[in-house]
Amino acid sequence: MNRRDFLLNAAATVFGAQFAPVGQVFAAPVLGQPAPFSIDRLRQKAKQMAGHPLRNLKAVLPKPLKDISPDQYRAIRYRDSEALWGNDNLAFSAQFFHLGFYYETPVRAFEVLDGKAREIRYDPNLFDFSGNSFDFSSLGRQLGFAGMRLHYPLNSPGYDDELIAFRSASDFRALGKGMHYGASARGLTLGTATEQGEEFPVFTEFYLERPRDSHTMVVHALMESESTTGAYTFTIRPGQATITDVALTLYPRKRLQSVGIAPLTSMFFFGANDRVGVDDYRPAVHSSDGLMIWNGAGEKLWRPLVNPKRLRISSFMDRNPQGFGLMQRGRNFDEYQDLDARYELCPSVWIEPVGNWGSGVVRLIEIPTKEQINDNIVAFWMPDEPIQGGAEFSLTYRLHWCYEAPVQAYPATVVDTRVGKAGEDERRFIVDFLGTILPTGADGRLQADASASKGGITNVSTRRNEATGTWRVSFDLKPEGDGPTELRCQLKSGSQILSETWTYQWSE
């Protein structure tokens, strides 16, 4: 997944799309005629559409939009004065993205009030084209939008910050207080990293319920794809951590074999554990640094991310998972030294299942990348049983856009992983743990329980780092045979487990 969306969103922030002064005089987009709406009606529409082949979703764009450059596309800005609800004394407002560049799929948007939906009509006058030399006066009013975003005074009562954005297929990303964009979510993945190739479902209609209070916003969406249709409801609650409740119902046209539920995507270019061959002034470049899993048995796992030499797929078998997410644990500027990206402010994104999800795997896909503009990390839940064609599949979960996972942790968590050469044929692993009730003295009775799926582990040590207040585990691995080696490590005091389980996949 290319991170052009992120770069375009970031540029729009610079040009003023992120902040709209509260109290500014607003106009509003033109609304169509009212029609009955409910989530049941949307589900029925999705079900009926599943009985027919997928329609052509892409539009034939006018030449100025089709041939537009990234810089020219960035210069097309939605007018703050035309924000939906901008002059209605509501906490939330909505703005829309223009078609063009590689955004070729029109999206329809509707305002929902008292059980009636009115279409928000596209009009070129909603946008500022002054940064372009093209004549956009002939675009007409039939194009549609490329996506939409919600604004909310997240950081200050005086500004409406960008809160959540939906653009490009079924992708969306959100922010908590003080955050910068990083990891994102999708509505669904199909066939990711399979020989058959990936299919990209698309949100084609959005229904924005006019907010009834200053704390909650509800958005419904219609999803279309070759293999399935779907109806989604997003209940969004902004705050220090922004919460998004997701309720989905799928109507598969055919058997869904490699389906990804609650998918997340992010970027890992390099970090302290993986920077071989990197020539960069920054110590690390990533939007997420690890996959965290709280499995159905109650064990919490931490898997540091890597930028592999070749495609890497890891599966963590589970039954009724309690949560998983792509996390960003490094929260200090010194760890990144990037004044623009501000990776230390990227959200961790935690998935909290609602109800029992049964048996399946948390799948982690790590894709090689030579640039930081590519989303090369994907994580999702894949049920053991395929979803059958003609069936109805419903599921609910909660997304936390947060600084830390909202779960009770073990006394100690992993804060750093480092890997380097130890000898002629060995690798040294350094794992730093931090915990509030770990022994503070250097003579604390802690042991490291380290193991490998193959090969030999030697020189295991556990030492207190007085400079940082952490406990450092180090050990050497002598690889054996072909293929990857799975590593595990925990801190213990006797038989008592004091830390989450650090896991790592090592390969040449």
In this structure, the answer to whether residues 437 and 476 fall within a common structural domain is yes
Looking up residue 318, the CATH number of its domain turns out to be: 2.70.98.10
pLDDT above 50 (res 505)? yes
- Tell me what pLDDT residue 436 has: 76
Question: In terms of domains, do 494 and 348 share one?
Answer: no
pLDDT tens figures, 321-372: 999 999 999 999 999 999 999 999 999 999 999 999 999 999 999 999 999 9
Q: Does 339 share its domain with 420? A: no
Integer CA distances (angstroms), 26 to 95, 149, 212, in order? 12, 17, 20
Let me know if residue 93 belongs to a domain.
yes
Show which of 344, 376, 402 is a domain's final residue. 402
- Residue 160 in any domain: the answer is yes
Domain count for the chain, please give it. 2
State whether residue 263 is helix, strand or coil: strand
Q: Cβ(207)–Cβ(41) under 8 Å?
A: no
Q: Are residues 175 and 124 in the same domain?
A: yes
Looking at the fold, whether 390 and 457 belong to one and the same domain comes out as no
Quick one: 149 and 215 in the same domain? yes
Q: Identify the domain boundary among 368, 402, 436.
A: 402
Q: pLDDT, tens digit, for every residue of 440-466? A: 665 567 899 999 999 999 999 999 999
With CA atoms as reference, report the closest residue to 107 among 161, 165, 193. 165
Structural domain containing residue 222: 4-402
Domain boundary among 369, 402, 435: 402
Q: For residue 420, is it within any domain? A: yes
Does residue 290 sit within a domain?
yes
In this structure, the answer to whether residues 58 and 181 fall within a common structural domain is yes
| Structural domain includes residue 138 | yes
* 156-192 pLDDT, tens digit each: 998 999 999 999 999 999 999 999 999 999 999 999 9
Same structural domain, 161 and 36 = yes
| CATH code of the domain covering residue 485 | 2.60.40.10
- Residues 347, 416: contact at Cβ < 8 Å? no
> 305 and 422 in one domain?
no
Please tell me whether residues 337 and 478 are part of one structural domain.
no
What confidence tier does 139 reach under pLDDT thresholds 50, 70, 90? confident
Residues 389 and 316 in one domain: yes
CB under 8 A, 24+ apart: contacts of 156-160: 157/22, 158/21, 158/22, 159/19, 159/20, 159/21, 159/22, 160/19, 160/20, 160/22, 160/83, 160/93
In this structure, the answer to whether residues 103 and 79 fall within a common structural domain is: yes
407 occurs within a structural domain: no
